[in-house]
Structure 1
Amino acid sequence: MRNPLTIFASLFRPERKSLASPDADLLALFGTPAPTAAGVNVGPGSALTVPAVSCAVRAISEAVATLDVRVMRREGSAEVVAPEHPVAGLLRDRVNDWTPGPEFICDLVAQALLYDAGGLAWVNRVAGRPVELIAYDPAHLTAQRHEDGTGQYRYLLNSREIPAEDVIHLRSPFGRSPVSLARESIGLSLTLERHAAKLFGNGPRPGGMVSFTERMTPDAIKNAAATFAAMLNSEKTGRTAFLDAGADYKQLVLSSVDSQFIELTGFQILQIARAFRVPPQMLYDLDRATWSNSEQMGREFLTYTLEPWLRALEGALRIALFSADEYPTHRVHFERDDLTRADLGARAVAYSSLIASRVVNPNEVRRWEGMEPYAGGDEYANPHTSTSDAPGAAAPQDGGA
């Protein structure tokens, strides 16, 4: 029987790893992604060369960046817009001298979709107020999970530790980016695209084969090939080719096995869509899209794809951009109405119904459409009837006895 102390010591013996055959952890230590089962390295740069991945990243990050961003301030039980707050000016106009606010938000979300560390940006403060936001390259601004196991992070800017309150940190679920979690599917997509490029680009397979019953010298083969090519390249297409010396021509076509990579490519698009939680139609895979389900998938894109990222982004911006005194009463809000807005005809019908039922007044509708109010538009009246009494008012009395 082995000594228990020997067994305990063996559990904590340092493991030796060789650079000749590095494993995934050792490659990650040097910043190199481990090869996938398909034999390719998948990182943020190589993943973006897959059209489905770049389309998913753009669909999410650009959709978030197109939304109007506001700073909301709580006053009692109500919330009002605070356009005068410095944070509102940063996010709405420009975050620094060279980056507009929408571009900054787009890059921050895209980083969180591509890198395990998430989207990181440094907050430059003057007298305690944020005056500049800088999204450094991921190699310069890094995040390291704290050793105490509480889930806190330490942030290094050019190898110098900076306070956590000066960093905007948008993290991906599970602490892993969708690119990292779907690296096998992305690696297979890269392999399929390379196979297709070699198959159709380099021509590893001839278009046809000519066999001769008689033995041919190299010069005779060259002459036969030149004659056959001259007949095919004739200006008069569709002519019959004639071969002598007992030649037999067979056209080579792709087998069903060779052509199945098209189906595999379509399946990989679905796998990548699942990893990013994006409806396939957002990646322009319209095989299963119909008039009836396209609108539903659009709503699912807002509910199940964008909404979690919007909530996480609002929380990350709120923690980093507001002081301890402002945090309880201020927050950043992205207006979702632009994504759920129906077409003009559907909106007109809905607005007319709401005004006629005296739920809203015309000026409220005009404000939703970004139009100026007009005199008398604050009245709750039904324009389709002769009376404009408010709900609950007494019915008009008959003038007779």
Structure 2
Amino acid sequence: MVWPFNKPAPIIVEQKSLGDPTAEELMLFGAISSTTSIGNAEALSVPAVSAAVRIISEAAASLDLKLKRKVGDAEQDVADHPGLNLLTGQANGWTSGFELIRDLVAGALTKDSGALCWVTKVNGEPRELIIYRDSIVTVDEDDKTGEPKYRIAGQFASSKNIMRVRGPFTKCPLSMARSAIATASAMESYANSLWSNGARPGGTIKVPGKLGADGVKTMLAGWKAAFGGKANAGKTAVLYEGASYEQMSLTSVDGQFNESRTFQILEIARAFRVSPAMLYELTRATWNNAESQSKDFVTYTLSPWLKVLEGAFNRVLLTDEERVDHRFAFDLDDTSQADLVSRATAYSSLITSRVYSPNELRAWDGYAPYEGGNEYANPAIDVARPGNDNQSQEAAVAA
């Protein structure tokens, strides 16, 4: 459309909303830098990130760790081993085994080089496990083979004394999601600035005349002193000299801003491979999908990290001879514990079908065995004689 030269073209004003700010607006208000750079410490201050790191690392450290020895076709638990004692007891004089495993996984999630642990050995036997500061123990990888070369305090260190836990890529999950985390952090800062100002964004004060530089400073100082901050929120404004106040548009209550923040939580959940419900984003969580999400967490998130830990323990804490028939293994039975009624039903079914004996199931829950509990019998057929043979049991069923 061509407008006549003697008439000005209409001016189209685009209405902006502070409830759903763009990246440019976030930079304008100082909420996010143009480089979207964020350090590890600041990234961990984002609640979704710290929650994801904690739930993975603490879940891994909470599981029972056992040392298995293969005897024939079966495996037996090894009760006493220096490496096992360090991981299940005191790793060193100031760190427990739980804290060590937790910090190993947390380091692998947040550091590109992974978590590095120094193993003090005496005559080939592990005596102490220490996670030094990042600058103390360093690692360089061969350009062709990827073989790691370690240094401790600038001196070369043998790989037999260094335990390393890392992810599958050259960068950790935190680094790979740095842009998403930076955006979430910026939106958190933006929301904090917004609400700390009494939920009132900046507005405009219009006066009919000229105030001058000193007059503007005086009016703004008086306005902030009277109405700025949370303590003064909701007070009635009084203007003079014909001045009027026009507040900028704020539509954060319409859900757009909250939806944007929720999306960033989903992005962080994807980066760490945990369900949003585990980060307490419960929008789509139901009673039906909660159990399946928990199983997915064990299968697709926790188990791979446990395999990495087991491999690191086997490589450094076991001798070449021990690795032939010994292996470290986390016990995942605790992750499958259901409520009492469901467990009782499952146990009853396993006993009556003679898959497990009562004493085997009692051992799962840490209870002592009882006499006669090693029989693979169906108590529903003949309670008095749990050891009946198949013929007598079939007769009882026929009767």
CA apart distance, 1:171: 1.5
Partner deviation per Cα, 1:118-157 (whole Å, 9 max, x = no partner): 011011110111111111111111111024x112100011
Q: 1:245 to 1:37 in 2, by over 3 A?
A: closer
Match of 2:120 in 1: 124
Of residues 65, 68, 74, the one that matches 2:64 is 68
Give the whole-Å Cα distance in 1 for the aligned partners of 2:39 and 2:248.
38
- What TM-score, normalized by structure 2, do the two folds share? 0.79
- What TM-score, normalized by structure 1, do the two folds share? 0.79
Give the whole-Å Cα distance in 2 for the aligned partners of 1:240 and 1:189.
34
Give the whole-Å Cα distance in 2 for the aligned partners of 1:300 and 1:112.
21
CA apart distance, 1:88: 1.4
Partner deviation per Cα, 1:11-30 (whole Å, 9 max, x = no partner): xxxxxxxxxxxxxxxxxxxx
Structure 1 residues 14-29: aligned runs within 5 Å: none
Q: 1:230 to 1:123 in 2, by over 3 A?
A: closer
Of residues 335, 344, 355, the one that matches 1:348 is 344
CA apart distance, 1:226: 9.0
CA apart distance, 1:317: 1.0
Structure 1 residues 239-254: aligned runs within 5 Å: 253-254=249-250
Partner deviation per Cα, 1:33-63 (whole Å, 9 max, x = no partner): xxx9842432322211111111110010000
Match of 1:113 in 2: 109
Match of 2:258 in 1: 262
Count, aligned residues: 357
Match of 2:162 in 1: 167
CA apart distance, 1:83: 1.3
Letter in 1 for 2:309: L
Match of 1:185 in 2: 180
Structure 1 residues 21-100: aligned runs within 5 Å: 38-100=34-96
Name which of structure 1's ranges 382-391 and 138-147 shifts more when overlaid on structure 2. 382-391
Letter in 1 for 2:340: L
Match of 1:196 in 2: 191
Contact 2:381 2:393 in 1 (8 A): no
Structure 1 residues 214-253: aligned runs within 5 Å: 253=249
Give the whole-Å Cα distance in 2 for the aligned partners of 1:118 and 1:242.
60
- Secondary structure of the residue aligned to 1:375 is coil
Q: 1:134 to 1:214 in 2, by over 3 A?
A: closer
Partner deviation per Cα, 1:306-365 (whole Å, 9 max, x = no partner): 011011110111111111111111111111111111111110111112222222222112
- With a CA cutoff of 8 Å and minimum separation of 6, indicate the structure with the bigger relative contact order: 2
Contact 1:109 1:119 in 2 (8 A): yes
Q: 1:395 to 1:44 in 2, by over 3 A?
A: closer
Give the whole-Å Cα distance in 2 for the aligned partners of 1:182 and 1:213.
51
Letter in 2 for 1:135: I
Q: Flag structure 2 segments of 5+ consecutive residues without an equivalent.
A: 1-31, 228-233
Name which of structure 1's ranges 86-95 and 197-206 shifts more when overlaid on structure 2. 197-206
Contact 1:358 1:391 in 2 (8 A): no
Letter in 2 for 1:368: W
Q: Flag structure 1 segments of 5+ consecutive residues without an equivalent.
A: 1-35, 232-237
Match of 1:324 in 2: 320
Q: 1:367 to 1:205 in 2, by over 3 A?
A: closer
Give the whole-Å Cα distance in 1 for the aligned partners of 2:198 and 2:226.
21
Contact 1:43 1:180 in 2 (8 A): no
Give the whole-Å Cα distance in 2 for the aligned partners of 1:341 and 1:130.
34
- Secondary structure of the residue aligned to 1:142 is strand
Give the whole-Å Cα distance in 1 for the aligned partners of 2:313 and 2:120.
14
Match of 1:25 in 2: none
Partner deviation per Cα, 1:283-325 (whole Å, 9 max, x = no partner): 1110111111111111101011001101111011111111111
Q: 1:345 to 1:174 in 2, by over 3 A?
A: same
Partner deviation per Cα, 1:210-237 (whole Å, 9 max, x = no partner): 7667889999xx99x999x999xxxxxx
- Secondary structure of the residue aligned to 1:263 is helix
Q: 1:376 to 1:389 in 2, by over 3 A?
A: closer
- Secondary structure of the residue aligned to 2:128 is strand
2:276 aligned with 1:274: no
Give the whole-Å Cα distance in 1 for the aligned partners of 2:202 and 2:145.
63
